[in-house]
Amino acid sequence: MHSQHHLHSRRLPKLNYIYQKYKIYLLLISCFILVIIYRREILNRLVLNTLNEGVIGLYQEQKLPGSVAGLLSKPLISLDKSGKYKGELLDNWQVNQNATVYTLKLKDYLFWSDGSQLISSDIKLNIPNSKVVYPDNKTLEITLNESYSSLPTLLTSPIFKADSLIGTGPYFITKLEKFNEVITKINLSPSNNRDLPNLNIRFYPDEKTTKTAFNLGEIDAILDVSETRDFLNQPSVDQINIPVTSKIVAIFYNTKDPTLSDRNLRKSLNSATARVEGEARSLTSISTFSWVYNDALKDNLANPDLAHDYLNKFLQNSKLQNISLITTPNLSILGEKIIRSWKEIGISSVLRVESGIPQNFQALLITADLPPDPDQYLLWHSSQTLTNLSKLASPRIDRDIEDARKSNDSEFRRERYLDFQKSLLDEMPATFLYFPKTNVIYRKKIKNLLEKVLPLQNL
């Protein structure tokens, strides 16, 4: 016992000597270990707070998709659910009586994401047939060559500091990668909200490539997926369906076609078409939420008796020919269902699936873009030969659209658009089916991050 105590007492000075001689090295090693642990913790936090999204489509800096542009900046004007305008970066705006001069007033204390103050001359507007001047640092004045009451529609896109991607939104760009002027990846960081995650967005040329990147773990979410059945049996994957009214699924009829030029046949096809269950029904190209929606319209879809009546009227003066329906791959299943419903009333038809929109067709089933304002001049006015897919030429519809876009009187505009929708169903240049949903596929582990970002992405 005494010998063990004596041995222990001799070791203490030796250990103390070693510590004194090498304490500087021990201290450095300890600091090095702490730095490694700290850096690993920071990196883990960054990784855990980073969302990797995939966007389908090829884009350049000058024309970003809304899902990205909405993160980087805000618009001058936004629209509520009913389609009415409200100031976003604007405090107010004034319009002269004939809707040719708009005076826009910016809000106080606006700043770009680079910290500089936002002044009116920073904003470059590309509005055809107009002149823009800047009376002071808070004011923009737009003078148009012709009356246009729907001009605020052109001010609902996010704005950027002249010739840059510097915006006013919740995110700013930290890195941008391109290949031949096409963006391949954008890294974003929150501007001032620390609760938001970092965001890496990769761009892919098509849906198939994007899905492959998801399955390989390169991304954890895909925006705007048209076909989601591939992921139904993956327990770690889920999806979100976001209703939108900026698009519509419809069958456009070529009103100049020798057979489909007859309204009775178009109305017969419309009444014979089967309903699409589980989707937001659309009677016209105006959303049911819109402040100008005509709720007195009658829904004649999936009405075989009425379809037979219209078909008989057509057959009194014309001979029925085979109808060709063209659609895109993502709507091919729906196209087959429509063909079957037409055949049930005796209209022989065939389905063709094509990747693009053909110049010539009889009937075309597609997802079409809709403007945020009720003004649908491009879609239905007879003068718009490039965008009026159905080649509709209706003097009454032309007049309704022209009168509405020249007036600042909201009640007068509403009356014109109510009549426009009634005339549209009478002409039946298209069978309106539903407003599609935007599908987002994601891994369940990043749901919390995704829910913070999606509301900001203008989907």
Share of the chain above pLDDT 90, in %: 74
pLDDT in tens, 101-118: 999 999 999 999 999 999
Spell out the residues 6+ positions from residue 128 whose beta carbon is closer than 8 angstroms to its own: none
Q: pLDDT grade, residue 45 (50/70/90)?
A: very low
Beta strand pairing status for 139-144 and 130-136? Answer: antiparallel
- 3 state DSSP class of 241: strand
Q: Which pLDDT score, from 0 to 100, does residue 291 have? A: 94
**Residue 18: per-residue pLDDT:** 55
106/355: higher pLDDT: 106
Is 24 a residue whose pLDDT tops 70?
no
* Beta pairing partners, 56: 204
How large a percentage of the chain has pLDDT more than 70?
Answer: 90
Give CA–CA dist 74/425, Å, rounded. 36
> What is the pLDDT at residue 401?
96
Cα-atom radius of gyration of the chain, to the nearest Å? 30
- The whole-number pLDDT of residue 108 equals 94
State the burial class of residue 223 (Cβ atoms within 10 Å of its Cβ: 0-12, 13-18, 19+).
buried
d(CA 434, CA 360) in angstroms, rounded, equals 24
The vertex-372 CA angle with 332 and 423, nearest 5°, equals 75
pLDDT given at position 172? 96
Query: What confidence score (pLDDT) does residue 233 get?
Result: 87
Predicted pLDDT of residue 38: 41
How many whole angstroms from its chain centre is CA 337? 27
Q: Strand (E) positions, 43-83?
A: 50-56, 77-79
In this structure, how many other beta carbons lie within 10 angstroms of the beta carbon of residue 249?
A: 20
Cα dihedral 211, 212, 213, 214 sign: positive
Per-residue pLDDT band for 356 (boundaries 50, 70, 90) equals confident
State how far the Cα of 408 lies from the Cα of 149, in Å rounded to an integer: 6
Query: Which 3 state secondary structure label does DSSP give 282?
Result: coil
Least confident range of 4-13, 378-387, 406-415: 4-13
Q: Where are the beta strands (DSSP E) in 279-376?
A: 280-281, 323-327, 349-353, 363-369
What's 208's DSSP letter?
H
Closest CA to 57 of 71, 48, 67, 45: 67
* pLDDT tens digits, 239-291: 999 888 889 999 999 999 999 999 999 999 999 999 999 899 989 999 888 99
Question: Coil, helix or strand for 430?
Answer: strand
Task: Tell me what pLDDT residue 96 has.
Answer: 93
Res. 62: pLDDT tops 90: no
286: left (phi over 0), alpha (psi -120 to 50) or beta: beta
For the cut 80, the answer to whether the pLDDT of residue 28 exceeds it is no
Q: What is the pLDDT of residue 44?
A: 36
pLDDT of 351 higher than 90: yes
Domains in the chain, CATH or no CATH each = 74-155 (3.90.76.10), 173-243+438-456 (no CATH), 247-435 (3.10.105.10)
Instruction: Please tell me the distance from the alpha carbon of residue 76 to that of residue 86, in angstroms, as a whole number.
Output: 9
Which pLDDT band holds residue 423 (cuts at 50, 70, 90)?
Answer: very high
Q: What is the pLDDT of residues 372-394, one digit of tens each?
A: 889 999 999 999 999 999 999 99
Q: Is a pLDDT exceeding 50 seen at residue 404?
A: yes
What are the DSSP E strand ranges found in 223-330? 237-243, 247-253, 280-281, 323-327
Residue 139's φ and ψ, nearest 5 degrees, are -125, 135
Q: What pLDDT does residue 42 have?
A: 38
Q: Of the candidates 433, 416, 148, which has an alpha carbon nearest to the alpha carbon of residue 292?
A: 416
User: For the segment 115-127, what is each residue's pLDDT rounded down to a tens digit?
Assistant: 999 999 999 998 9
Query: What is the mean pLDDT of the segment spanning 219-235?
Result: 90
Backbone torsions φ then ψ of 289, nearest 5 degrees: -85, -10
Which H/E stretch holds residue 380?
helix 377-380
**How long is the chain?**
459
Predicted confidence band at 339 (pLDDT cuts at 50, 70, 90)?
very high
* 65-90 pLDDT tens trace: 999 999 999 999 998 888 889 999 99
Are 379 and 248 spatial neighbours (Cβ–Cβ below 8 Å)?
Answer: no
Q: What is the DSSP letter of 347?
A: -
Average pLDDT over the chain, rounded to whole? 89
| Residue 48 pLDDT class (50, 70, 90 cuts) | low
39-43, 47-51, 241-245, 267-271 — most confident range: 267-271
Per-residue pLDDT, 243: 83
Choice among 62-66, 79-83, 434-438 with the minimum mean pLDDT: 79-83
pTM of the model: 0.80
Pair 154, 57: CB distance under 8 Å: no
What region does 205 belong to: left with phi over 0, alpha with psi -120 to 50, or beta?
alpha
Residue 141 contacts by C-beta under 8 Å, 6 or more apart in sequence?
101, 102, 103, 104, 132, 133, 134, 135
